[in-house]
Amino acid sequence: MAVLTIEGGKRLSGEVEIHGAKNSALPILAATFLCNEKCTLQNCPALSDVDASIKILKHLGCKVVREGDQIEIDPTAAHNCTIPDELMREMRSSIVFLGALIAKCGKARISYPGGCELGPRPVDLHILSLQKLGALIDERFGSIRCRRVGRLCGNTINLPLPSVGTTENIILASVTARGITKIHNAAREPEIMDLAGFLNACGAKISGAGDSVITIEGVEKLGGCTHRIISDRIEAATYMAAAAATGGEVLLKKVQPDYVEPVFYAFREAGCELEIGADTILLRAPARLNRIKLIRTQVYPGFPTDAQAPMMAMATVARGTTMFIETIFQNRYRHVDELCRFGANIKVEERVAIVEGVDSLYAAEAQATDLRGGAALVIAALAAHGESKIGNIRHIDRGYAELETDLQALGAHIKRVDY
């Protein structure tokens, strides 16, 4: 079992290159299963969730070769349409394989997905949407059996909320369906655009990705392509929050600033200077941060829920009171009790968290409760005086590639210790 030990109180300063986006890589890996030729994905982050997707692809019969941040997938010999429980449980986004499986194989059997504990994360919208495309679905004893008679059929789907995973699943299922599919109230996240970009490069006809109405004109079959995954906007926001919490200065490289824009206001309100380049963001923090009046998580282009926990860690050392309202997930404050171990002053009432900034945090032993909550603890430990220990870091490994190396390059005293 590994823990991170962090000797905090060091001002972070230097440069960091942002990796490829986890939330793009996962659905695009699932999408490669639909292809009829080899695909090459570049800028794939080395994350345990990516490992889990590769395991699923291999289990389905794809040949997968990984070299550095490049993954080559040859789906031409894929033959399997079942994903066993132990692979499904490794991550929640395994549910996006359902759309690809039913489209390509005509039948699929999977169990319910695993993933972060952020409150109830049902898959009802995924199921209802696939049914609208003609899939016959039977949910029993924790497993989802799905089949189709003939090709899936395009339809108009009005999502009651712009679910990211559901939008992706509909795209995957409908890309080779008969006729036209329209998704109303689709998720607009950059990762949806990246998925559509990949599929279009393989011969799909998807328009409107990035807007709330997406149109998919079904094609007979997909070829393959070489595609570069976009950079991870949440990793970028996390390093910005880490630098800001230590009064530091960081230059993010290989980043897509437009996608990180929804968090800029919060850093500026906290007193940070930002210089935005074509593919760089320079953040210069003041010695003491100001409070941010309100951080309300919203769907893109609103403030991302995935950046809420890292920003909360930063707000714990600001001067004054910051209010958070989490509107996306019901139970996304599990990091709060752990942050309080460092001396943070946070009160939670349902979806609202009130953070009273303190002068200093102190070293603590804490356990990562989920991926982004784990990143928040790393930030608190970086800002705290003394040596902290963070356990349960398998959560953090799901979403941050080369975390220790990158933070060490910024001057952090952080190491991974195996017990």
Smallest separation, CB 167 to ligand UD1 (Å): 8
Q: Which is nearer to ligand UD1, 224 or 399 (CB)?
A: 399
- Helix, strand or coil for residue 223? coil
**Segment 272 to 311, residues that bind ligand UD1, using CB under 6 A:** 305-306
Which residue has the closest beta carbon to ligand UD1?
A: 165
**Segment 246 to 275, residues that bind ligand UD1, using CB under 6 A:** none
Do you know the residue count of the chain?
419
369 binds ligand UD1 (CB under 6 A): no
As a whole number of angstroms, the distance between CA 42 and CA 97 comes to 20
Task: Find the part of the chain contacting ligand UD1 (CB under 6 A) among 158-166, 178-186, 221-229, 357-365.
Answer: 158-166
Angle at 49 between CA 13 and CA 85, to 5 degrees: 160
As a whole number of angstroms, the distance between CA 122 and CA 221 comes to 31
CB 240 within 8 A of CB 54: no
Q: Which is nearer to ligand UD1, 23 or 256 (CB)?
A: 23
Q: Which is nearer to ligand UD1, 143 or 280 (CB)?
A: 143
Q: Which is nearer to ligand UD1, 165 or 257 (CB)?
A: 165
CB 369 within 8 A of CB 392: yes
**Segment 91 to 130, residues that bind ligand UD1, using CB under 6 A:** 92-93, 121-126
**Catalytic entry in 35, 81, 116, 272:** 116
169 binds ligand UD1 (CB under 6 A): no
* Binding-residue pattern over the window 41 to 60 for ligand UD1, x denoting contact by CB under 6 A: --------------------
Residue type, 61: G
- Cα-trace Rg, the chain: 21
- Tell the burial category of 350 from Cβ atoms under 10 Å away from its Cβ (0-12, 13-18, 19+): exposed
For 150, 170, 204, 206, 260, the CA distances from 132, given in Å and listed in that order, are 14, 10, 20, 18, 34
CA 335 from centre of chain:
17
164 binds ligand UD1 (CB under 6 A): yes
* Of the candidates 403, 353, 401, 399, the residue with the CA atom closest to the CA atom of residue 381: 403
Q: Which is nearer to ligand UD1, 330 or 360 (CB)?
A: 330
* Position among 45, 75, 165, 247 found at the interface with ligand UD1 (CB under 6 A): 165
Strands, E assignment, 379-419: 387-391, 413-418
Q: Is 116 a catalytic residue?
A: yes
* Position among 43, 163, 238, 367 found at the interface with ligand UD1 (CB under 6 A): 163
Residue type, 134: G
329 binds ligand UD1 (CB under 6 A): yes
Catalytic positions: 116
Chain residues that interact with ligand UD1, rule: CB under 6 A: 23, 26, 92-93, 121-126, 161, 163-166, 187, 191, 305-306, 328-329
